[in-house]
Amino acid sequence: MKKLMNKPSGFVDEMLDGLVAANPSLALGGDTGRVVHRAKPIRSGKVGVVSGGGSGHLPLFTGYVGEGLLDSCSIGNVFEGPTVGSCMEAIKLADGGKGVLRLYGNYGGDRMNFDMAGEMLEDEGIRTTTVLGNDDVASAGPAERQKRRGVAGIIYAYKTAGALAETGADLDAVTAIAQKTVDRTRTIGVALAPCQVPGSDKPSFTLGENEIEMGMGIHGEPGIWRDTLREADAIADEMIERLLADKPEGAGKRVSILVNSLGATPLEELFILYRRARATLEAAGIEIVRPLVGHYATSMEMAGASISLCFVDDEIEALLAAPAHCPFWTVTA
């Protein structure tokens, strides 16, 4: 696969240099140079919100650093979690004296390194809490939801936690709203074609010319089934059916929907999916609020899409509507 790059070894650092150069609201920090943070120092007395993960998923993770969202984000190599050192640096850069929420996807390496970073910084007087994104319904059944992977739906928690933190809420309240949002969010993806990690001599997985895989993860993790390509309406119907079958206990009749490209799939195809998903939800008596369609969490040049549903209540909906700005997502009052 052709890529616009120099040496594979410089791919991530050169990407980060370009990201912050193109967006003056961002800066690179820490000794590692693998932390993106707001260019303006965190406000004293504000709870910090931090995330992190591997490169290759822009706008996730670093693209959501900004007002009303994340304060800082540590980043690893492509499809590799951030180091303990960069996690520590991200937390320090987000410390306004009132504690820091660590909000990231449910992956083993990320958990281990963020946990170690948090434990070491507790000794320096920085209180931290953790909320794990685990919205991927294809990765484990409802009885083992704590094992599910975190994918595109985590951006809803970025938004609600970031909005509440801007109001001056304390760490316990910011943590609680992030957890509530995660608990009310479900995602499923479908893959059409693979991506290739810079420096690798082969794609991350293989699919036949006319094959798709329902439920595949953003790193090529196995999904639910693999079969021949079918029409977009049938794919959207199954995705919505699976999400509604897994809706959280006590969920109401309002959702925010995110139809997300995994990288190569264009907006035209996303809108075809959204059109059908909206009709299916409305037929089920469900109202859509604040729909999102676009590139929000990708996997390099992987072809495919994911659909996320966040089952909102009045509190979550109000926080989703609060002003926010980052390079890839702006919400105006």
Q: Which of 37, 57, 295, 325 is catalytic?
A: 57
- Helix 154-166 to helix 171-183 angle (10° resolution) is 150
Q: Which of 37, 219, 295, 325 is catalytic?
A: 219
Cα Rg of the chain (Å, integer): 19
Instruction: Report the alpha-carbon distance of residue 118 to residue 126 in Å, rounded.
Output: 8
Sign, CA dihedral 72-311-137-263, equals negative
Phi then psi dihedrals of residue 186, to 5 deg = -135, 140
Catalytic, 57? Answer yes
Q: Which residues of 154-179 are buried (b: 16+ CB within 10 A; e: fewer)?
A: bbbbbbbbbbbbbeebebeebbbbbb
Instruction: Report the alpha-carbon distance of residue 54 to residue 48 in Å, rounded.
Output: 21
The answer to whether 72 touches 65, Cβ cutoff 8 Å, is yes
Q: How many helices (H) and strands (E) does the chain have?
A: 8, 15
Instruction: Measure CA 217 to chain center.
Output: 13
| Residue 152 neighbours by CB under 8 Å, 6+ apart | 60, 135, 187, 189, 258, 260, 296, 297, 306, 308
Q: Which two tokens stand for residue 205?
A: 């997985």
Q: Which two tokens stand for residue 164?
A: 């509440």
Sign, CA dihedral 168-171-174-177, equals negative
Catalytic residues: 57, 219
